[in-house]
Amino acid sequence: MSMTAKAPKTPEARQMRAKQFNNTWLLFGIFGIVVVSFVRVVTGADDLAATNTIKAAVIATCPILLAGLGGLWSERAGVVNIGLEGQMILGTWGAAYFTYYYGPWMGVVGGALMGALGGLLHALATVTFGVDHIVSGVAINIMAAGAANFLAETYFADLSGGGFKQLTGLDRPGEITIPGISDAATSLADQHWFLISDLSSFVAAATKEVSTLTILVVVLVVATAWILWRTSFGLRLRSCGENPAAAESLGVNVYAYKYVAVVVSGALAGIGGTFLTIVSSSGFTAGQTNGRGYIGLAAMIFGNWRPGGTVVGALMFGYTDSLPLRSASAVHALLLVVAIALIAFALLRVYQGKQLAGAVIGGFGLAFGAWWLLTDSINRDLVGLTPYVATLLVLALASQRLRMPAADGLRYRRGQSI
Amino acid sequence: MADAEAGSRDAVRLRGITKRFPGVVANHDVDITIGRGTVHALIGENGAGKSTLMKILYGVQRPDEGTITVNGDDVTFHSPTDAIEHGIGMVFQDFMLADNLTVLENVVLGAEKLRGIGDKARDAIAEISRVYGFGIDPDVLVERLGVGDRQRVEILKVLYRGAQIVILDEPTAVLVPQEVDALFDNLRGLKNEGYTILFISHKLDEVLAIADDITVMRQGTTVGEAKPGSVTEHQLAEMMVGSELPSPETAESTVTDDVLLTLDGVTLTDERGRQLLSDISFTIHRGEVLGIAGVEGNGQEELVETIMGIQAASAGTVSLQGKDMTEWDTRERREAGIGWIPADRHRHALLLDSPLWENRILGFQTREPAVRGLWIDRSGARTDTERIVREYDVRTPGIDTLSRALSGGNQQKLIVGREMSNDPILLIASHPTRGVDVGAQAAIWEHIKTARRKGLAVLLISADLDELIGLSDTIEVILRGRLVAEVDPQTVTPQQLGSAMTGGDDDEEGAA
Amino acid sequence: MSDLLRRTALTLLAPVSAIVVAMIITSALIAVSGGSATDFLSVIFSVPENRLIVNMINQSALIYMSGLAAAIGFRMNLFNIGVEGQYRVASYGAATLAGAAIFPGILNVIIPILFAIVLGAAWAGIAGLLKVTRGVSEVISTIMLNAIAITLTGYLLNKYGQHVGNGVRTTPIPESSHLTGWYPFTRADGPVWTLAILAVFLGVGFWVVLNKTRFGFDLRATGLSETAAVASGVKVGRMVLYSMLLSGAVAGLIWMPAFYGAAHSYGTAFQAGLGFTGIAVALLGRNQPVGIIFGAALFAFLNEQANRLTIETDVSVSVVQITQGIIVLSVVVMYEVVRRYRIRLEQRQVAEREPAPPPAPEEVPA
């Protein structure tokens, strides 16, 4: 964004705002790493930020993130897409089928196509027929679950590695390793030094045996942010979510943009399903999405309908989802991480003049701290609760700061208000 | 009237435009000619068909019959895009802006091909803003702008697209006087640059002040044309409403000494700390009609909602018959005998997808005959709805009809009938005859007068000055959330009231 | 009278056409994937065996209660997606309490059921409170609460339940607390559970409260137009909380007939997924107590008949889920289409009744 001579102040101000915004999430990330690193050193739970932990977290994050991105496309155009779960389910089947016959990259295409089909249905119901968005989404989820089961039983039962509810042994997309850096980073990470080792773990995780599909996910995040906020197509799409009547009065074909947005949304969720099928695991299993479509939606809301925020939300879910599978001690140490994060957040709120909110959050923080102090271990099941409880807390405490698109979820009829 | 010659002189010609909606003829046989480089005013009462006509000209709706000629070419608009391509731009009455987008984004939306969405567009907007003295920052979020600035953003949108013909639909309805002056300055500036302005209004003084030509509409068609120099406000008013002004007359005063409603220092502050109402105090007695005059958006809605207990006053007290009811909730206030005819009947007074008899219960959920104890009294409600339909002449196939299906006038009669049920002691009436045909208007006025004779106190809020003057015993003028003047309806003229409402104390608007 | 006939026809039009559409699409899908659509249709539309009829009645009762729970929220435009979590928490709690057998005889039925009601209401109440006090969308909070409920009950069951073989369950209730039910056919065909009667009570109660009481009117008014409801004196926040509590309370009862009738403990015998079925059925029945009966019966019928597909045909059982999904989606689309048609119809009626006065333009000299 260059500055111009004619309007010297405004672009600067804009840039500052943009920077501030990016800085917020950057600070958020750095703070997170520092806290995790600190707790790791204090508790000796090295698995908290080991390369493998991070890799597992990324793999757990990607499907959720893709669903979240799908939600972002759809909701920015004003359509609430609770059918993400169903579109994801369709994606798992499509990915398995196409991968089996044509290889993993056609599997991605197949997953995207099946998800897009679910999105198209949702668009048809909500945009053309004006059905309530939630209602349509619920119906799609029911239908998609049935469709995937039926299709699996019909097409996978007789295949090698197949069964009534599964198709295993699928080819995976390739992995990339950057030799020099990954080795250096791995050895640094193994030193368990404060912060340095943790950052090295990240570098190692990002350079060693990275699935090409993971790289595609990163590309999709960047592409989504760029398309929605830096192109005229994105501006039009977002205007449909903010004030469709205004958009229509300016010649924007609101229906068309909503259709595109919801179909893309479904396709992204479908790729999320693909990721589950050919990266997270080695095949299709009935019901393997296990609510991740809904979680993606939650991650997007947690991230305030923004790409950066959605990434942070998805990472939170992914990290707490994957950690318990790796290490019990790390799970216990996580309590301290949560406690410190909450107390820091509480102090921030108090600093902002929100004493009550600060007190409530601080109370939760102290409770987690006490829990950590008074116990030696924690049941793995309970860790799974963290992202859900955290989402509820964030919604409860920061809902005033969340800003959903103004016309999100509302029915829109062509020519309705002009 | 050679077409070729007219084509070169006229920006827009509409001939024989007719538009029907189910059950309604919104426009028929409309003829208008708008000269290039002029400010052309289109006036008419609410419901006269002005807005429909403008939507046709802007391509939002298509006429069933008739032709549109722009700069001499016959055109057919399928969408606003077509109209924009022919150099027509529209500033809607309800702003068409996305709050959560910046000015820049709002302006370039739909016109990205012109200059992209980046710095070139930003420069162009800054330039237009500078030339016409708009003073708008392209990168600010629209939600941070005030009403006047939003309107300028709307005009910016139109100019940015290179429109030569600008339609403004009731642009002054939401403005305070200084903003109206600023707007008129902007419009004169545009005219001097060669733009053609079509200005829709029902405010005669404004029209006379700004327009070069005037076209009058009534009941869906054009009924006459005039030049500001050769016509008086009264003549225009007559053209708008027909042969005579439906001037309500006041019978002898029925005002008593019994104090019914008292507001004492009522103040309302919104969450951002702006004062929506400042230190409002007044008293209404039994048998008295207190009128509130003011340009819309100056706190009338907030005043009503504070009295009804929907918004809680930040300071001050509201008392009914001497009892402090500041802490009461809306239902308690209704039970105490307050009837309410809200300004927006669709949003606040009706369940559009429920039958008429269920609408009778709304607002009376705790009172007979609609309800007995904790139970809905279906037959009681139905019988009483039939009474309202009969007494208030609600034209409906039956009381099982959905209220959505009724015409605006009949919906309003139903609401008035309902709110007059159970013998209210106080009636709050916001624009009670807005969008209502003349017959229903007279009937509603008659009902209010009859109730007043029986001791009803009325708070009347209306944009129709004749209604205010005709019905009120006292008139308070509201401006930016304050009561700024009290006038005697017996002696005041609409012109005087008009200038009090706009904060000026003389006729600087240049009403003839 | 013909008016009434037309209304009834319009009301039935949507569900009937939805079923037809769903059957056609499902048949087509089966045919395309190489199965026999006629086999499918003949099995689905055959007369069910006695055993299946009993199952259908029992399942209808559970699904019906779930549908009611969802409908209470829907009538107020509250999307309580959380019925699933609410009845899970309530079922686990009630099963644990009843398994402890603290109370004698019938009290060991009544008190755990009351406990289930309270737990269901409380779980839904969290979402209600968050919405009223903090403005959190109930859709997202109930989804979160569903996930929390599954994890939490799983954890508690693992920690405090009886481990039997591979499974884990709560302590089974004593025989004295069993409420098996009534055998309409032979004993081999199984009983209609005693507590299935709860569905009848709840249905009647729902209808009475919604249509006959002030509270019901306020609830419906809030759903139809929140602004108008506020203006009429309804305290919307309070209504949101009440209806969430009510919705959760009903949700708490969903599994009780099966628990006291057959399962006797919470564990592998717990029937999950009823919450989502309930949402579908509520939509199918237009959130009307009578409509939901048909929705619940239809779903139970399809589920039970589908079980025979595996035995008698090559068609997969899951196909019926597609049928159900299509029915729900097409029914909501059809309701919307019918609604628009009906409004146009009424407007035309009104217009016929009151022809727009022909405007008489007159020339006024300028």
What's the pLDDT tens digit per position in C79-99? 888 999 999 999 999 999 999
| C130 has a pLDDT exceeding 70 | yes
Using a CB-CB distance cutoff of 8 angstroms, which residues of chain A are in contact with residue C29? 150
Q: Residue B426 has what pLDDT?
A: 95
Does residue C238 sit at the B interface (CB-CB below 8 Å)?
no
User: What's residue B171's pLDDT?
Assistant: 84
Checking if the pLDDT of C357 tops 50, the result is no
Average confidence (pLDDT) over B312-336:
92
Given a cut of 60, whether residue C362 has pLDDT beyond it is no
Q: Judge contact between C25 and A150, C-beta under 8 A.
A: no
Q: What is the mean pLDDT of residues C218-232?
A: 93
- Of residues B198, B149, B122, B90, the one with CA closest to residue A246: B90
Three state DSSP letters for C94-114? HHHHHHHCCCCCCHHHHHHHH
Give pLDDT tens digits for A115-154.
Answer: 999 999 999 999 998 888 988 998 899 899 989 998 998 8
- Mean pLDDT rounded to a whole number for chain C: 89
- Structural contact between residues A243 and A206, judged by C-beta atoms closer than 8 angstroms: no
With an 8 Å Cβ cutoff, are A144 and C325 in contact? yes
Q: What is the pLDDT of residues A313-354, one digit of tens each?
A: 898 888 888 877 667 778 888 888 888 988 888 888 888 777
Q: What is the pLDDT at residue A182?
A: 80
pLDDT confidence of residue B174 = 67
- Range B468-476 average pLDDT: 88
Which tokens sit at B373? 């104890």
- For residue A20, pLDDT over 60 is answered with no
Query: Do A112 and A294 meet the contact criterion of CB atoms below 8 Å apart?
Result: no
Q: What pLDDT, on the 0 to 100 scale, is given for residue B105?
A: 92
In which band, very low, low, confident or very high, does the pLDDT at C174 lie, cut at 50, 70 and 90?
A: very high
**Which pLDDT belongs to residue A233?**
94
**What pLDDT is stored for residue A13 in this prediction?**
47
**Model confidence, pTM:** 0.84
Smallest CA-to-CA distance from A330 within A80, A44, A57 is with: A44
Q: Check B94 against A417: CB less than 8 A apart.
A: yes
Chains with at least 3 CB pairs less than 8 angstroms from chain A: B, C
Per the prediction, chain B carries an average pLDDT of 84
Residues 421-480 of B with CB under 8 A from C: 437
Question: What is the DSSP-derived secondary structure letter of residue C192?
Answer: B
3-state class of A171 per DSSP? coil
Find out whether B218 and B48 touch, Cβ atoms under 8 Å.
Answer: yes
More confident residue, C357 or C231: C231
Output the pLDDT for position B504: 53
d(CA A411, CA C303): 33
A231 touches chain B (CB under 8 A): yes
- Quick one: average pLDDT of A253-276? 96
Q: Taking residues C264-280, what's their average pLDDT?
A: 92
To probe the interface with C, which of B335, B375, B379, B418 has the most C CB atoms within 10 Å? B375
Question: B339 in helix, strand or coil?
Answer: strand
Enclosing H/E stretch for A116: helix A104-123
Residues of A with Cβ-Cβ distance to C328 under 8 angstroms:
138-139, 142-143
B451 versus A66: which is more confidently predicted? A66
B372: left (phi over 0), alpha (psi -120 to 50) or beta: beta
Q: Within a 10 A sphere around the Cβ of A295, how many other Cβ atoms?
A: 29
Please give the average per-residue pLDDT across C46-62, as a whole number.
Answer: 93
> Is the pLDDT score of B508 beyond 70?
no
**pLDDT tier, C220 (very low <50, low <70, confident <90, very high otherwise):** very high
Encode pLDDT of B147-206 as tens digits.
778 888 988 888 898 888 999 988 877 676 667 888 888 888 888 888 999 988 877 778
- Among C residues 278-337, those touching chain A with beta carbons less than 8 Å apart: 279-280, 283, 316, 318-326, 328-329, 332-333, 336-337
A25, burial (CB in 10 Å: exposed 0-12, middle 13-18, buried 19+): middle
Does the structure show a pLDDT above 90 at C312?
no
Q: What is the pLDDT of residue C111?
A: 96
**Residues 6 or more apart from A69 whose CB is under 8 A from it?**
A220, A221, A224, A268, A296, A300, A307, A310
A95 vs A6, residue with greater confidence: A95
With a CB cutoff of 8 Å and minimum separation 6, the contacts of B178 are B503
Take residue C148 and report the two structure tokens written for it.
């929390």
Q: Rounded to the nearest 10 degrees, how much is the dihedral formed by the CA atoms of A241, A245, A251, A254?
A: 40
Name the more confident of A245 and A262: A262
Contacts of A196 (CB under 8 A, 6+ apart): A188
pLDDT tier at B250, thresholds 50, 70, 90: low
pLDDT at B22: 63
pLDDT band at A287 (very low <50, low <70, confident <90, very high): confident
Residues of A in contact with B127 (CB under 8 A): 6
Q: Which residue has the higher pLDDT, C94 or B7?
A: C94
Shortest distance between the Cα of A225 and any Cα of chain B, in A, equals 16
Ordered DSSP codes for B217-261: EETTEEEEEE-GGG--HHHHHHHHH-SS-------S----S-EEE
What are the tokens at C124? 């839904």
Candidate from A362-366, B141-145, B436-440, C171-175 with smallest mean pLDDT: B436-440
Helix, strand, coil distribution of chain C in percent, nearest 5: 75, 0, 25
B369 preceded by a cis bond (ω within 30 of 0):
yes
pLDDT score of B243:
52
Handedness of CA A61, A65, A66, A71 (dihedral sign): positive
